[in-house]
Amino acid sequence: MPKAFPLEFRRDVVAVARRHEAPMSRIAKDFGISEGCLHRWVKRAEIEDGEREGLTLAEEAEIRALRKRNKLLEQENEVLRRAAIYLGQGLNPK
Protein backbone atom coordinates (compact mmCIF):
# COMPACT_ATOMS: atom_id res chain seq x y z
CA MET A 1 0.00 0.00 0.00
CA PRO A 2 1.44 3.38 -0.95
CA LYS A 3 2.13 5.73 1.91
CA ALA A 4 -0.40 8.49 2.47
CA PHE A 5 0.82 12.03 2.15
CA PRO A 6 -0.69 14.83 4.25
CA LEU A 7 -3.31 16.94 2.48
CA GLU A 8 -1.26 20.11 2.94
CA PHE A 9 1.74 18.45 1.24
CA ARG A 10 -0.46 17.40 -1.68
CA ARG A 11 -1.83 20.93 -2.04
CA ASP A 12 1.68 22.40 -2.07
CA VAL A 13 2.92 19.95 -4.68
CA VAL A 14 -0.13 20.53 -6.89
CA ALA A 15 0.32 24.30 -6.60
CA VAL A 16 3.93 24.00 -7.76
CA ALA A 17 2.92 21.72 -10.64
CA ARG A 18 0.15 24.08 -11.76
CA ARG A 19 2.61 26.97 -12.06
CA HIS A 20 4.38 25.00 -14.83
CA GLU A 21 7.79 26.24 -13.71
CA ALA A 22 9.37 22.82 -14.29
CA PRO A 23 8.48 19.56 -16.00
CA MET A 24 6.17 17.26 -14.05
CA SER A 25 8.88 14.60 -13.88
CA ARG A 26 11.25 17.05 -12.19
CA ILE A 27 8.63 18.25 -9.71
CA ALA A 28 7.70 14.66 -8.82
CA LYS A 29 11.35 13.73 -8.31
CA ASP A 30 12.03 16.81 -6.19
CA PHE A 31 9.13 16.01 -3.88
CA GLY A 32 9.88 12.29 -3.74
CA ILE A 33 6.70 11.04 -5.41
CA SER A 34 6.04 9.22 -8.66
CA GLU A 35 5.12 11.13 -11.76
CA GLY A 36 1.89 9.14 -12.03
CA CYS A 37 0.98 10.14 -8.49
CA LEU A 38 1.55 13.79 -9.32
CA HIS A 39 -0.61 13.54 -12.44
CA ARG A 40 -3.43 11.98 -10.37
CA TRP A 41 -3.21 14.72 -7.76
CA VAL A 42 -3.29 17.46 -10.39
CA LYS A 43 -6.21 15.79 -12.18
CA ARG A 44 -8.12 15.45 -8.87
CA ALA A 45 -7.46 19.14 -8.07
CA GLU A 46 -8.73 20.20 -11.51
CA ILE A 47 -11.91 18.15 -11.01
CA GLU A 48 -12.46 19.58 -7.53
CA ASP A 49 -11.96 23.13 -8.86
CA GLY A 50 -14.38 22.55 -11.75
CA GLU A 51 -11.70 22.92 -14.41
CA ARG A 52 -12.13 19.34 -15.63
CA GLU A 53 -15.04 16.96 -16.07
CA GLY A 54 -15.39 14.23 -13.48
CA LEU A 55 -16.85 13.33 -10.12
CA THR A 56 -15.69 15.29 -7.11
CA LEU A 57 -14.71 13.48 -3.92
CA ALA A 58 -18.05 14.46 -2.38
CA GLU A 59 -19.96 13.03 -5.35
CA GLU A 60 -17.95 9.81 -5.24
CA ALA A 61 -18.65 9.47 -1.51
CA GLU A 62 -22.36 10.05 -2.11
CA ILE A 63 -22.44 7.37 -4.83
CA ARG A 64 -20.69 4.89 -2.51
CA ALA A 65 -23.20 5.64 0.25
CA LEU A 66 -26.14 5.28 -2.13
CA ARG A 67 -24.83 1.95 -3.46
CA LYS A 68 -24.38 0.69 0.09
CA ARG A 69 -27.91 1.81 0.99
CA ASN A 70 -29.30 0.21 -2.17
CA LYS A 71 -27.63 -3.11 -1.33
CA LEU A 72 -29.07 -3.02 2.18
CA LEU A 73 -32.56 -2.29 0.84
CA GLU A 74 -32.26 -5.15 -1.66
CA GLN A 75 -31.29 -7.52 1.16
CA GLU A 76 -34.19 -6.32 3.31
CA ASN A 77 -36.56 -6.75 0.36
CA GLU A 78 -35.35 -10.32 -0.16
CA VAL A 79 -35.96 -11.14 3.53
CA LEU A 80 -39.47 -9.69 3.31
CA ARG A 81 -40.18 -11.58 0.09
CA ARG A 82 -39.11 -14.87 1.67
CA ALA A 83 -41.10 -14.14 4.83
CA ALA A 84 -44.21 -13.40 2.74
CA ILE A 85 -43.80 -16.71 0.91
CA TYR A 86 -43.27 -18.59 4.16
CA LEU A 87 -46.21 -16.94 5.92
CA GLY A 88 -48.38 -17.28 2.85
CA GLN A 89 -47.88 -21.04 2.82
CA GLY A 90 -49.00 -21.23 6.46
CA LEU A 91 -52.22 -19.35 5.77
CA ASN A 92 -53.42 -21.63 2.97
CA PRO A 93 -54.36 -25.04 4.37
CA LYS A 94 -53.97 -27.87 1.88
The answer on 45 and 78 residing in a single domain is: no
Contact 13, 27 (CB under 8 A): yes
pLDDT for 9 equals 96
Range of the structural domain that residue 66 is part of: 57-94
Strand segments (E) across the chain? none
pLDDT for 59 equals 97
The answer on 67 and 42 residing in a single domain is: no
The answer on 45 and 19 residing in a single domain is: yes
pLDDT along the chain (94 residues), means of 10: 85 96 96 96 96 96 98 97 87 58
